[in-house]
Amino acid sequence: MLRCARQGMKIYNISSPGDHLSAYPQTIQLDDIANIIAEKFKDQTAITCYIGSNAATPTAAIEALTRALKSRSPVLPFLKMVHLLLQGPVPYVEEGLQDRVMAYSIFSGGAVRNAANKGLAFYLPCTLANIEGLIDRGRKYQPEVVIMKVSRHSHTGEFSLGLSVEALHTAIDHASVVIAELDPSMPFTHGQSMVDAASIDYLVEEGIQPVYDFPAPDFDDLPPAERRIGALITEYFIQDGVTLQVGIGKIPDAVVGTIRDAQPKNLGIQTELYGDGLMLLQKSGIVTNRKKSANMGYSTTSLIMGSRELYDYAHMRSGVQMRPSSYTNAAKTIQANCPFVSVNTAIGVDLFGNVWADFIDPRRYYGGVGGQPDFIRAIQEPGVGTPVIAMKSLTSKGESKIVPTSPPGVSLTASAYDGFVLVTEYGIADLRGLTLGNKALAIANVAHPKFREQFLRKIYDDPLVTKPFDFSPDKTPYGVTPYRGDVPLNDD
């Protein structure tokens, strides 16, 4: 049998249940989800649901469950919804439902971000490496219910978590009800994405919505500031045989574009999120994974998100394998693949070397810490690798992203005691091993020129910041490598 997710959309063959498996989950309809939960937990006042995330967000199941919550039919226990980034509509965060359901979001965007900033959803700070500590047996957020997507192998009948593994295996192991949408639009991925049929209680095959895909970046037409940042990172830190973790966004895209042009050899990939850029490097032969000590021969990731081309590439490909985020982001695994280069971005950095990425200010929550602290702290030891925080020097409003002190009350994704490298379009500030005074001078020197002088003056005038004995405003500080390329900026 062949089922189609949406007319004109690439699908993957799904054989009928009896072809390969003697044990098969019970097939249900979307509207049955609420009835099953209501009956199973009729004696409980509250339960925790763990929801699959990112490109594999089970939107149809979320909407069906929200309809039941709104109508109060059937009567459900209070639902604590624990999840990472959810794509698409998330109607249960609408105002007026908080007496029946509450989001506990580890990473947010869109509707959940807006709800959290209005007090209608909880932000649950946690790095990706540590999610299992939140939901493990006996922990505060151990789930009773899991709702997710799966794909099915056309020949063997096996199930795969496809695009999202993160902490789903731990959630499945501890939940008493596991509900999966069987999605023919989701690729079948290899590695620890496999889930046995006996671990799935109920399967929804009709009325589901396809996985989320996004236009691929244009790696040939990058903005000048991002191109300069990418060129600096590639020139100074990308050497043959390094293992990469690179996020998604214009700056990571620029890093990928400049790596492609530089053509280093035998790179490896171990990342929390595999996107179009990493696929580009792997398809071009720059990534071979031959030099990795852990998982030699294939890229490892916890999540895949990007274009339809990316999903087609990942489908049935043994060279891209899924692992839980507790593995991809574990210090032991990261350190095994040294030399390692990690590239992440931030909302702001202060002159002490504090970094924040989950809040714009104490009153404006943005997303979450993700895995940034995991990688920074794993590879700051000498000889292990280079943790890079890459960001433009200015916000879209022309304000400096480098500030004298971090906003009071904002949580930090890296602190002054973390050794990392800051890269802006004006240069590199290698902060590893620098004193407070040297660190402040280095950070100020990669700020935008219209703010740089006032930062240097502040450092010079502050008696609590011990300056190096040979300090001079016109001398390049320790750890700083200015940009010397030929890419002009619009504001130069």
DSSP letters of 52-86?
A: --BTT--HHHHHHHHHHHHHT-S---EEEEEES-B
Does 373 sit behind a cis peptide bond, omega within 30 degrees of 0 on the bond before it? no
Other beta carbons less than 10 A from residue 312's beta carbon: 14
Q: Is the dihedral of CA 320, 13, 160, 85 positive or negative?
A: positive
How far apart, in whole angstroms, are the C-alpha atoms of residue 314 and residue 163? 9
For the CA atoms of 217, 300, 293, 255, what is the dihedral angle to 10 degrees? Answer: 10
Among 250, 294, 248, 235, residue whose Cα is nearest residue 269: 294
The token pair that represents 35 in the structure block: 């009835």
Among 102, 98, 172, residue whose Cα is nearest residue 132: 172
DSSP letters of 198-252?
A: GG--EEE-SSPPPPP--PPP-TTS--HHHHHHHHHHHHHH--TT-EEEE-SSHHH
How far apart, in whole angstroms, are the C-alpha atoms of residue 79 and residue 58? 16
Coil, strand or helix: which one is 310? helix
Kindly provide the b/e burial profile for residues 94-107, where b requires at least 16 CB atoms within 10 angstroms of the residue's own CB. Answer: beebbebbbbbbbb
Catalytic residue at 226?
Answer: no
Contact between 4 and 11 under an 8 Å Cβ cutoff? The reply is yes
Other beta carbons less than 10 A from residue 41's beta carbon: 18
Query: Residues 144, 205, 226, 272: which is the catalytic one?
Result: 272
Contact between 432 and 423 under an 8 Å Cβ cutoff? The reply is no
DSSP letters of 85-147?
A: -B-S--GGGSTT-TTTEEEEESS--HHHHHHHHTTSSEE----GGGHHHHHSTTSTT--SEEE
Which residues form the catalytic set?
A: 272
